[in-house]
Amino acid sequence: MTEAVKTPAQMAVSDEVAISIQNMNKWFGSFHVLRDIDLTVNRGERIVICGPSGSGKSTLIRCINALEEHQKGSIEVDGTLLSSDLKNIDKIRSEVGMCFQHFNLFPHLTILENCTLAPIWVRKTPKKEAVETAMHFLEKVKIPDQADKYPGQLSGGQQQRVAIARSLCMRPRIMLFDEPTSALDPEMIKEVLDTMIELAEEGMTMLCVTHEMGFARQVANRVIFMDQGQIVEQNEPEEFFNNPQSPRTQLFLSQILGH
């Protein structure tokens, strides 16, 4: 676990607030999915969110870039208050990168086109520059040689790394990961996690829903445990794993670490 990588505490976290969620509530119809969520994320923080399925962890991070609408409370991203104003939402979305469980690459475009599309159309970057940026990030995720292929020709791990590169091409200040390794084979999980660790070391602000506890120990500087739409416990990873306080957390950890 503790190779040559810096421990989470050593990686710089600034005092600047990146995301501020206050008293946020969300309902799906009459079902209360998120209840009174309060969460402040500083720039450079790396947060892992875990919890049983249906606990609202995906919904929480999807609220941050307005893929889901919240009904009560406030979410502020980079100082911009998330409202129903479309211009506001598009602005926040272009600052916040997101990776999905099922990659959601665009199958009708090549890898390179997947990466250059948003910079060209949203940021109005000249095509040549967008291609250069895309190749830079594809090299970073170690698949520049696949640039002219289509997503369907790549393995799952490669597709997820392209998805990360596609988000990075927008030069986001915050990255959201929604179970990025849950749909992958064990061998591919490692290549995706390596990419994410590299990103964390560069100081990217990250919120990651995942059950990769090794990743949490190595990279996170805060682990959040959610159950029934509430934040049940949050702590530094060492404390969280070695000395969980709430009985619900203890039960969850014993179940996922006990095999």
| Choices 46-54, 60-68, 73-81, 194-202 (CB under 8 A): range interacting with other proteins | 60-68
**3-class SS letters over the chain:** CCCCCCCHHHCCCCCCEEEEEEEEEEEECCEEEEEEEEEEEECCCEEEEECCCCCCHHHHHHHHCCCCCCCEEEEEECCEECCCCHHHHHHHHHHEEEECCCCCCCCCCCHHHHHHHHHHHCCCCCHHHHHHHHHHHHHHCCCHHHCCCCHHHCCHHHHHHHHHHHHHCCCCCEEEEECCCCCCCHHHHHHHHHHHHHHHHCCCEEEEECCCHHHHHHHCCEEEEEECCEEEEEECHHHHHHCCCCHHHHHHHHHHHCC
For other proteins, the binding residue among 98, 112, 162, 232 (CB under 8 A) is 98
Q: Does 108 participate in binding other proteins (rule CB under 8 A)?
A: yes
Nearer to other proteins, 166 or 217 (CB): 166
Give, as ranges, the residues between 154 and 173 that touch other proteins (CB under 8 A): 166-167, 170
Q: Does 96 participate in binding other proteins (rule CB under 8 A)?
A: yes
| Choices 12-20, 35-43, 44-52, 96-104 (CB under 8 A): range interacting with other proteins | 96-104
| Choices 22-30, 44-52, 62-70, 139-147 (CB under 8 A): range interacting with other proteins | 62-70
Tell me the closest approach of the beta carbon of residue 89 to other proteins, in angstroms. 8
Nearer to other proteins, 96 or 232 (CB): 96
| Tokens (6 digits) for 85 | 């104003």
Tell me the closest approach of the beta carbon of residue 107 to other proteins, in angstroms. 5
| Choices 19-27, 103-111, 132-140, 220-228 (CB under 8 A): range interacting with other proteins | 103-111
* Residues near other proteins (CB under 8 A): 65-67, 86, 90-91, 93-94, 96-98, 100, 102, 104-108, 117-118, 121-122, 150, 152-153, 166-167, 170
